[in-house]
């Protein structure tokens, strides 16, 4: 069996800014293919990605990219492409000039051709003479992707690269990242949108509050997230009867009455609860006014993963 060498190795890494702990004792390895870094805003994703590119160093632990230290090894920059989170580009330059500059600084033999090719990959016109300051957010995002891949790096780091893209461009970019991954490149993409990560169909690292909360195949993580206890608010004209019916149907772990018309339901079987709630209301001769999940936001999911 062939062992695939990890392209990125993060070992016991912590990083803090003053009193703020941005990343706390994180270790993981990433090989070829697409890996998604998932987590809410402020989870430390960007800090990790910046460390992978050497833009900041870890306060503790080690980061190795292709066996080297990205903070110290200047030559490693040849093999790393970054789409940073910030929207800004060199505003006086056209997209072609911007990407060509990257090609020149990487010492490519034919910077014009390389820049035109990279812009073509992200479906931008190399002949467009408008400065990037006039571009929409989505177009700038594509320019940033083009400058990150113009030198065909082995490691591609993308910090929220789908922000501002329309659905068609999102799909195009996701396909591009998958192609790059299939080509043997290490593509690491951060996102705080669960559905976005689902479409990568990739390995996932989940970060919450500076810690690695989970890692593995996306589907396993998704199941883990779905199996967690959920809390749902149900409003009805007969809440007490409805609550009893839900307990009888084994669709609820616990129920709590609130006010005259509300019952709060805890369940660890969301699908079963969804199927049962209407039937239970019908059997109880109750009118359903509202069924609202109270903890279906990503923050709750992440909190669950941390507390697990």
Partner 1 sequence: MTEIRAPRRHPTPRTPGAVMSLYRLMLTSQVTRTRVIGLSALGLVSVFVGFAIGHAHLHDALRQGTRFINGFGLSLLVPVATLVFASASLGDPNEDGTLVYLWLRPVARAKIVAAAALASFTVTWPIVTIPLVISAALTGGGRSLVVGTVAGVTVSMVAYIGLFVALGLRVKRATVWGLLYIFVWEGFVATGNNTASRLAVRTYARSVLSHITGETFRVTDIASPWRWLVPVAVALVALAYATRRLSRQDVA
Contact 226, 67 (CB under 8 A): no
CB of 124: closest distance to partner 1 in angstroms? Answer: 17
Q: Which is nearer to partner 1, 52 or 251 (CB)?
A: 52
| Cβ at position 55, least distance to partner 1 in Å | 4
Total count of residues recorded for the chain? 308
Instruction: Please say whether the beta carbons of 186 and 148 come within 8 A.
Output: no
**Min separation Cβ 180 and partner 1, Å:** 10
Residue 117 vs 306, nearer CB to partner 1? 117
- Please give the radius of gyration of the chain, using alpha carbons only, rounded to the nearest integer: 24
Report the residue number, 106 or 230, with the smaller CB distance to partner 1: 106
Both tokens assigned to 17: 């800014």
- Minimum Å distance from CB 85 to partner 1? 9
C-alpha 187/C-alpha 293 separation (Å) is 34
- Shortest separation between residue 43's beta carbon and partner 1, angstroms: 18
Whichever of 146 and 277 has its CB closer to partner 1, that residue is 146
CB-nearer residue toward partner 1: 21 or 249: 21
Residue 56 vs 244, nearer CB to partner 1: 56
Helix (H) / strand (E) element for 283: namely helix 270-283
Residue among 15, 111, 25, 26 at smallest CA distance from 55: 15
What minimum distance in Å lies between the beta carbon of 267 and partner 1? 44
| Cβ-based nearer residue to partner 1, 65 or 252 | 65
DSSP for 71-96 reads TT-GGGGGGEEEE-S-----TTSBHH
CB of 165 to partner 1, least distance (A): 20
CB closer to partner 1 out of 31 and 138: 31
State the Cα angle at 133 between 110 and 171, rounded to 5°.
70
CB of 116 to partner 1, least distance (A): 14
> In angstroms, rounded to a whole number, what is the distance separating the alpha carbons of residues 198 and 219?
8
Closest approach, Cβ 114 to partner 1, in A, equals 7
Distance of CA 198 to the CA centre of its chain: 9
Element (H, E) at 130: none
Gap between the Cα atoms of 22 and 39, Å rounded: 13
Angle subtended by helix axes 167-182 and 137-149, to nearest 10: 10
User: Measured in Å, how far apart are the chain's first and last C-alpha atoms?
Assistant: 34
Task: Give residues in contact with partner 1 (CB under 8 A).
Answer: 2, 4, 32, 50, 53-57, 74-75, 77-78, 80, 82, 84, 86, 88-90, 92-93, 98, 101-102, 104-110, 114, 147, 151-152, 154, 182-185
Instruction: Tell me the two tokens of residue 178.
Output: 């998958």
User: Chain-centre distance of CA 94, in angstroms?
Assistant: 29
Nearest CB to partner 1, comparing residues 26 and 155:
155
């Amino acid at each position: 069996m062939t062992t695939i060498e990890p392209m990125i190795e993060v070992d016991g890494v912590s990083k803090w800014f003053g009193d703020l702990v941005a990343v706390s004792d994180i270790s993981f390895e990433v090989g070829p293919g697409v890996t998604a870094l998932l987590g809410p805003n402020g989870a430390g994703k960007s800090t990790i990605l910046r460390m992978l590119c050497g833009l900041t160093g870890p306060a503790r632990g080690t980061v190795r990219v292709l066996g080297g230290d990205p903070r110290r090894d200047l030559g490693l920059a040849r093999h790393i492409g970054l789409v940073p989170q910030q929207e800004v580009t060199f505003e006086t330059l056209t997209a072609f000039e911007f990407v060509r500059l990257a090609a020149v600084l990487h010492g490519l033999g034919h910077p014009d051709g390389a820049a035109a090719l990279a812009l073509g990959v992200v479906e931008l016109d190399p002949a467009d003479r408008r400065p990037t300051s006039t571009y929409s957010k989505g177009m700038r995002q594509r320019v940033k992707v083009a400058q990150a891949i113009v030198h065909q790096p082995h490691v591609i780091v993308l910090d929220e690269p789908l922000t501002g893209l329309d659905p068609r461009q999102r799909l195009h970019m996701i396909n591009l990242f998958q192609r790059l991954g299939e080509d043997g490149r290490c593509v690491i993409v951060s996102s705080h949108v669960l559905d976005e990560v689902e479409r990568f169909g990739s390995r996932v690292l989940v970060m919450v509050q500076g810690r690695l909360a989970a890692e593995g195949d996306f589907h396993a993580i998704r199941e883990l997230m779905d199996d967690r206890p959920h809390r749902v608010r149900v409003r009805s004209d007969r809440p007490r009867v409805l609550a009893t019916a839900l307990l009888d149907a084994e669709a609820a772990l616990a129920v709590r009455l609130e006010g005259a018309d509300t019952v709060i339901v805890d369940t660890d079987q969301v699908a079963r609860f969804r199927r049962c709630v209407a039937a239970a209301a019908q059997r109880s001769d109750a009118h359903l006014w509202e069924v609202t999940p109270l903890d279906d936001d990503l923050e709750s999911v992440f909190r669950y993963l941390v507390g697990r």
